[in-house]
Chains A and B, each alone.
Chain A
Amino acid sequence: MKKLLVLSVFLLAGLMVLSASGKLEIFSWWTAGGEEDALFALYDVFHENYPDVEIINATVAGGAGTNAKAVLKTRMLGGNPPDSFQVHAGAELNDTYVVTGLMEPITPFLKEWGIMDKFPKDVLDICSYEGEVYSVPVNIHRGNVMFYSKEIIEDVGIETIPTTWPEFIDALKKIEDAGYIPLSLGDKNKWTATHLFESVLLGLLGPYQYNGLWDGRVSFENEGVKKALEVFKELMNYVNEDHSALAWQDATRLLYEKQAAFNVMGDWAEGYLKTLGWKPEENFGWMALPSTRGSFMIVSDTFGLPKNAPNRSNAIRWLKVISSVEGQDAFNPIKGSIPARIDANPELYDVYLRWSMEDFKTNALCPSIAHGSAAPEAFATALNDIINRFIATGNVDEAWNSIIEAAEENL
């Protein structure tokens, strides 16, 4: 009896040692329906290639990763990094982890795998710092899209979808008169209002000037910023009264419930509408925000390689899998985003995503503020606060000054 016990203890210990040699911890905030399924599809591809590696799925729930980011920071600071973690391309990674020397450049691996030219140069530039690439983009979401309920649009009698701000405002008036909510917004978590604002800003500045805000070519004292605040203020007259009680899903849902006509949200909202049972083109339509046609606000999830990753070789394998066509085509159709690679198979994607892929190839690419790509998080948080206040006060000059101040302090 005693021998058996000793033997089993040894066996157990042996098993633990074996499995420890083949682990991979992936940190993300993908916990909601479609997102989680997409992540698991990626894991499946990984398992097909490396069946012996055990994946530890470390997730922290919360939209836009706000809670996950806090947990990740504590882990990185404490010298306990996961093997690879989800992070938005650009400032969110660079300003926080790359500048501080916590990440390992992955350019040599991308070169070794021969895929440097398989991603658009602009996207890799956003993922780079001082000439080295630090993360692999798995997906591309578009920020400056607007979804609309076809039924309401037909009901109200809007024949052509407006492409400029004055036309759009006219359409909103018509919808309001018909008794619907013209534009749905759910800014309980603040960032959604910033999301709307940045899309307006992009439209009024144009992609060249908008991108200039981040490399110092253009100042926030530019009149376009003020105009964007004015347009944003005007739009606020047409949003649902209870916007500050809703999250983005609730706002998107208002379309499905036949209460609201338009919703500005990144195209993860398209995935959400589909899970509700709506079909693209049949039940809902979409367009780039007025005067942002030709610009593509990218929100990209990427994975990098932290220094001192406990299972570094598995982490590199992970990066290889997610940057492959196979990996990207497994993940993105489920997630409702488009692949960052330009040679993926369009057949796998729905009609909206094919439209987005087409635009992605031809449009000017712009980084998002609300989603951490354009500016350090301190600026994004400050802007969240300013816009939140601005919605209540409607004071354009005060908001403009605060934005200029925040830019001076944080950029």
Chain B
Amino acid sequence: MPIIKGITKKKLLGLIILSPTIVALGIFVYIFIGWTTRVSFSNWNSFTALLKGEYKFVGFSNYLKLFSDPRFQTDLWNTLYFTIFFIGGCLTIGIILALLIDRGLKGSRIFQNIFLFPMAVSFVVTGTVWSWIFAPGNFPKNPQGLNLLLGLFGLESLQWKWYTSTFSIFNFNVALIPVIIAAIWQLSGYTMAMYLAGLRGIPEQLIEAAKVDGATDWQVLWKVKLPMLRPITLSAMIILGHMSLKIFALVYSMTGSGPNNVTDVPAIYMFESTFRSNKYATGSAIAIIMLIMVAVIMIPYLYYALRREVTR
């Protein structure tokens, strides 16, 4: 029975139940995104300008300035390389661990929990601990952390500057490697859990059928399991990808910006411009650029996922 034309009672009830969420989302997410966008086009680059609140539209000048800023350019390169290696590493280690656990060897449940555990640790803790591990010390005389360990085993030649190195190749700052390792350590267990769920969802018959047809274990893996896991890989890439594009706490607590910004990321620059330099417009512009980067990978995924649900 339609109350207003086209709206049934059931639909109306749904709308009423959902409305607090819609309102809250609308205000705290979308209106704030809109506000940030507005600030990013303004001249609010000092505390005084912000408090006076006299809005002066300056077009894209905050954005143009950012893209010609060497620090921001470094940030974008760092984000790119960090994302690639971080996602690649997590997926590789995640699937290997999942396959090992899935074989159901004795004690695999314990290892499953051990591998998953780092995810329960906060990024700040991970960052602090790994910054001690990779602190180079003044090697070879007074090495620290990993360098100390290498020295004990007589591997002095492997001692390295780790995250204090300013060396870079194809704009890849090698100082990022320790940070990437720490990030992979934290999230490969999570990726494993996702793959494990995926593996357990593969119907037994498929694998049996392949085996009956004479497929080796290796062929079963490549021709049956991995193709079946493709949606999981996609989801994992999206989840890890949006984390790496927004990464802040891990880098901030582990290395900070590093010498010559070798481990700097946009989020740190955003924080410093907004809350240290009082450059609110610049900070907002960085926020919007980060949002666009995340949106570029999120929107196609959401579109794909939603459409799949509809066709179901």
Q: Which residues of A contact B (CB under 8 A)?
A: 66, 69-70, 73, 77, 95-97, 99-102, 179, 181, 187-190, 240-246, 259, 376-378, 381-382, 385, 388-389, 391-393
Contact = CB atoms under 8 A, between A and B. Distances in A.
Interface string B43-59: 00111101110000000
B150 to A, nearest CB: 15
B259 A244 contact: yes
B276 A66 contact: yes
A377 B278 contact: yes
B260 A245 contact: no
A245 to B, nearest CB: 5
What range describes how many residues of B lie at the interface?
35 or more
Contact of A388 (B136, B164, B255, B261): B261
B260 A388 contact: yes
A242 B137 contact: yes
B198 interface: no
Contacts of B137: 242
Contact of B161 (A100, A242, A391): A242
Contacts of A102: 51
Given A179-B141, A190-B257, A388-B260, A242 B136 contact: yes
Nearest to A241: B138
B163 interface: yes
B240 to A, nearest CB: 27
B276 A96 contact: no
A179 B277 CA distance: 41
A378 B277 contact: yes
Given A100-B47, A241-B138, A378-B277, A393 B260 contact: yes
Contacts of A96: 47, 278
Given A190-B257, A241-B161, A378 B135 contact: no
Given A96-B47, A388-B260, A393-B260, A381 B138 contact: no
A407 B163 CA distance: 31
B62 to A, nearest CB: 13
B166 A240 contact: no
Contacts of B139: 241
Contacts of A391: 259-260
Contact of B277 (A187, A188, A382, A388): A382
B275 interface: yes
Most chain B Cβ neighbours within 10 Å, of A244, A378, A391: A244
Contacts of B51: 77, 100-102
B136 A241 contact: yes
A381 B260 CA distance: 14
B164 A245 contact: yes
Given A66-B276, A69-B275, A69-B276, A188 B255 contact: yes
A392 B257 CA distance: 13
A188 B175 CA distance: 14
B166 A190 contact: no
B258 interface: yes
B131 interface: yes
B272 interface: yes
A100 B44 CA distance: 14
Contacts of B272: 381
A95 B47 contact: yes
A242 B164 contact: yes
Contacts of B47: 73, 95-97, 99-100
Contacts of B52: 100
Contacts of A385: 71, 261
A392 B261 CA distance: 10
B199 to A, nearest CB: 41
Contact of A259 (B71, B142, B164): B142
Contacts of A95: 47
B98 to A, nearest CB: 35
Contacts of A179: 141
A112 B131 CA distance: 53
27 contacts: A70-B275, A77-B50, A100-B48, A100-B52, A102-B51, A188-B255, A188-B256, A190-B256, A241-B136, A241-B138, A241-B139, A242-B135, A242-B136, A242-B137, A242-B144, A242-B161, A244-B164, A245-B136, A245-B164, A381-B272, A381-B276, A382-B277, A388-B257, A388-B261, A389-B260, A391-B260, A392-B260
Which are the 4 A-B pairs with shortest beta-carbon distances? A392-B260, A70-B275, A378-B277, A244-B259
A386 to B, nearest CB: 10
A385 B268 CA distance: 13
Most chain A Cβ neighbours within 10 Å, of B70, B141, B166, B277: B277
A96 B48 CA distance: 7
Nearest to B50: A77
A388 B259 contact: yes
Interface in B2-34: none
Interface in B89-136: 131, 135-136
